[in-house]
């Protein structure tokens, strides 16, 4: 299964797309998709999973992310997220025009868009600063909405409160054949992480030998395939720890781990704390 190519049309009378969804009404949430537009997503409250490129992680108490052009990603809300609203803004990299983007005052926004090629997650301080403005745009006419977007982008450009999601040098700007192949692999992991995943089978799906596939995957994602699968499973376990009052042993099995001690070791390796410590900390964050 390939990621779906999403066709994005600007909002009426506007040079970019804007939509605010109540709770989990964004029906793209379960789909693996990409588009040439840069995407800003503000999730107001709640907790959930983010998968952007080869990065997977769990967010709590809302999220604000910027996703670069053609960087594949899944949606960020579902029936268990518990968010109030989700706002999505999508804009072509040159939506303001080459001359405007060439102005000295806009230089930093171009640099922000460049960083977004690997995906950016902003922290709580930045969300607090720009979140209300992002949601306020829903009631604004096109000109005021554009001015608000520029002010938000300027604040995102200036903040140091952010994290680059994919490894340094990561890029999904590949040949079409590579793009289809790597996204087929991501989809397979997304659909089968609860089962045993055979490296031999994934290599055959990619029309490669196992050694060639391992080199290819590491070159594209900056991670080994085993690391990526384990990371995906740990992130899913993190989500279950927050959402389901079931035993940690059951969570490990539901996340695709057949060995409980191996799960405990990997969970601490990825998160820096045990699963029970992680769950205890989440209780103080998630209501």
Q: In order of start, what are the domains of the chain with their CATH numbers?
A: 4-164 (2.60.120.280), 176-283 (1.10.10.60)
Q: Which two tokens stand for residue 58?
A: 């769990």
Q: Which residues share a beta bridge with 43?
A: 63, 86
Q: H/E element holding 126?
A: helix 124-136
CB-based contact 51:163 (threshold 8 Å): no
- Pairing of β 120-122 and β 63-67: antiparallel
Q: H/E element holding 48?
A: strand 48-52
pLDDT score recorded for residue 97: 82
**Exposed, middle or buried: residue 82 (CB in 10 Å: 0-12, 13-18, 19+)?**
middle
pLDDT score recorded for residue 155: 96
Tens-digit pLDDT string for the chain (287 aa): 445 556 566 766 788 999 998 877 775 556 677 788 999 999 999 988 888 887 888 898 999 999 998 888 888 888 878 889 999 999 998 888 888 877 888 888 989 999 999 899 999 999 999 999 999 999 999 899 999 999 999 999 999 999 999 876 565 554 445 667 877 888 889 889 999 999 999 999 999 999 999 998 888 777 899 999 998 899 889 888 877 889 999 999 999 999 999 999 999 998 888 999 888 877 655 44
pLDDT score recorded for residue 1: 45
pLDDT score recorded for residue 279: 86
CB-based contact 124:61 (threshold 8 Å): yes
CB-based contact 221:182 (threshold 8 Å): yes
Phi–psi pair at 284, nearest 5 degrees: -85, -10
Helix ranges (H only) for 139-244 are 142-158, 176-192, 199-205, 210-221, 225-243
């Amino acid at each position: 299964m390939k990621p779906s190519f999403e066709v994005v049309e600007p909002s009426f009378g506007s040079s970019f797309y804007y939509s605010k969804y109540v709770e989990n009404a964004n029906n793209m949430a379960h789909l693996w998709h990409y588009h040439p537009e840069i995407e800003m997503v503000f999730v107001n409250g709640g907790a959930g999973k983010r998968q952007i490129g080869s990065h997977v992680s769990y967010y709590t108490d809302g999220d604000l992310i910027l996703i670069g052009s053609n960087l594949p990603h899944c949606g960020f809300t579902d029936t268990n997220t518990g968010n109030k609203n989700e706002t999505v803004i999508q804009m072509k990299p040159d939506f303001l025009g080459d001359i405007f983007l060439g102005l000295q005052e806009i230089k930093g926004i171009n640099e922000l868009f460049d960083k977004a090629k690997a995906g950016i997650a902003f922290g709580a301080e930045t969300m607090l600063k720009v979140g209300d403005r992002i949601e306020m745009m829903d009631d604004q006419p096109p000109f005021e909405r554009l001015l608000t977007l520029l002010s938000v982008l300027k604040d995102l450009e200036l903040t140091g409160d952010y994290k680059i999601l994919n490894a340094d040098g990561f890029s999904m700007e590949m040949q079409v054949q590579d793009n289809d192949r790597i996204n087929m692999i991501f989809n397979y992991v997304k659909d089968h992480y609860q089962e045993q995943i055979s490296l031999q089978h994934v290599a055959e799906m990619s029309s490669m030998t196992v050694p060639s596939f391992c080199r290819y995957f590491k070159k594209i994602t900056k991670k080994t395939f085993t690391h990526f699968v384990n990371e995906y499973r740990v992130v899913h376990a993190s989500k279950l720890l927050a959402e389901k009052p079931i035993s940690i042993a059951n969570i490990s099995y539901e996340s695709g781990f057949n060995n409980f001690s191996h799960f405990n070791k990997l969970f601490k390796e990825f998160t820096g704390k045990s699963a029970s410590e992680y769950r205890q900390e989440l209780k103080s964050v998630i209501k």
